[in-house]
Amino acid sequence: MKDVSPQYRDKCQQQVFAEVTAQNSILAKLKQRYVRSHLSNDKLYDSLSIKDIEIHPLGIEAFYKLVVKMQIVLSMPEQLLISQEDPPDEGESATDEPRMYFIANGRFDVFVKKNHIVAAGNGSDKSSKDKGVCSLSEGDHFGEIGLIYGCRRTASVQSTNYGTLAMLTRSNFLELQKSFESIVESFKNQISLYEDEVKLF
């Protein structure tokens, strides 16, 4: 997006971030909690619909607190964004720290190597080749395990087509704790639901 005018680039970024924070269930709940914690009483919050929260001054404030820490990433077809067993910062010299991604649009396949098969649907299946576990799309995120726990990547993620993502580095993720105290707990709670046959974190 370097060749795009700053004004148009800003509009594109805001649109991407708006989609990400609305579609991702954890980010949407963080915004809702932010609004509730800053309102004078719960009755006022209870009177707001989800759409009201999005356009409420506090909802907009929460949105900007989230997105100011994000960067846009454009993916090419078959681009490998994360490779299993790599250190969390491997291949990420631009930031030299772990990152996670939120999908605005596109489709991304998750693969695991043999003996690291994640139970999906009808149970686990081991093979000598990389195994496709699931596909991710709008509203999903990935990379949070390596970012939070500092462990090696537990799966590989590859784009199937062109995609647009919002990227968050570990330092910016931790900075968000100042405004969103439950952010780490929220992602850890979701991680605990993953049916990973061999947990390495």
Of 34, 143, 35, 40, give the one whose Cα is nearest residue 99.
Answer: 143
pLDDT, residue 92, reads: 52
Residue type, 172: N
CATH 1.10.150.570 fits 72-191, yes or no: no
Q: pLDDT tens for residues 104-125?
A: 999 999 999 865 444 444 444 4
pLDDT score of 165 more than 90? yes
Residue bearing the bigger pLDDT, 75 or 85? 75
pLDDT tens digits along 83-97: 998 887 765 544 468
Bridge partners for 99 per DSSP: 169
- Ranking 14-18, 97-101, 156-160, 171-175 by mean pLDDT, the lowest is 14-18
User: Which pLDDT score is estimated for 142?
Assistant: 96
Q: Which pTM does this prediction carry?
A: 0.81
What residues does each domain of the chain span?
6-67, 72-191
